[in-house]
A = this chain, B = another copy of it.
């Protein structure tokens, strides 16, 4: 990456291409979006695109990596600063998720979409989606462990299921208020594991 001297614009173009890929594939899917549209959205020519990435598949994989990194940085950081105690942070999980699910242009989880479009086509992309989601699940488990939950593995997976379910349900029904009910369900599931004072203000 830094083996050769590169101007400031170089990384800008690359990042613009990745952002354009994320934006367009989120809106219309991976196979429905062409290389030309991505290059145009990034304000770049195809030449530049193929200078940075060897193929569309490589571009998509890089975009998913960027998306994963951005998501975990933003989401988990927001959760970590959202409450004073581990229990409060755990509870605020779905408050943080609400912003994502209600964002304009939200069109379902990008990894779920990628897994659906590339199974049997690009094992590499499918594998990365699996890994990215596994890391999210593990982050949930760390939160549970910090909160001294009795069975962190089980509760984390249940919260993960609800997180994914809210994501898919809002995506396909368009009703963003589902997040409220998802949070309520999460609180019910957490209740047996947490001290009473953290759960009571439901």
Closest CB-CB distance, A187 to chain B, in whole Å?
11
Closest CB-CB distance, A198 to chain B, in whole Å?
17
- Nearest to A157 among chain B residues (CB) is B181
With A112-B112, A157-B178, A181-B161 known to touch, is A27 a contact of B120 (CB < 8 Å)? yes
Closest CB-CB distance, A130 to chain B, in whole Å?
6
* A86, CB-defined interface residue at 8 Å: no
Is B133 a contact partner of A172 (Cβ separation < 8 A)? Answer: yes
* A10, CB-defined interface residue at 8 Å: no
Bound state CA distance, A177 and B192, in angstroms?
23
Bound state CA distance, A162 and B97, in angstroms?
16
Within 8 A of B (CB), among A103-139: 107-109, 111-113, 115-117, 119-121, 129-130, 133-134, 137
Give the interface segment out of A51-59, A68-76, A77-85, A163-171: A163-171
* A185, CB-defined interface residue at 8 Å: yes
Query: Mask for A131-169, Cβ within 8 A of B = 1, else 0?
Result: 001100100000000000000001001101111111111
A interface residues with partner B (beta carbon < 8 Å): 27-32, 107-109, 111-113, 115-117, 119-121, 129-130, 133-134, 137, 154, 157-158, 160-169, 171-174, 178, 181-182, 184-185, 188-189, 192
24 residue pairs bridging A and B, Cβ less than 8 Å apart? A28-B117, A29-B29, A31-B32, A108-B112, A109-B168, A112-B168, A113-B117, A115-B171, A116-B116, A116-B171, A130-B174, A133-B169, A133-B172, A158-B182, A158-B185, A160-B169, A161-B162, A161-B165, A161-B169, A161-B182, A162-B165, A164-B172, A185-B185, A185-B189
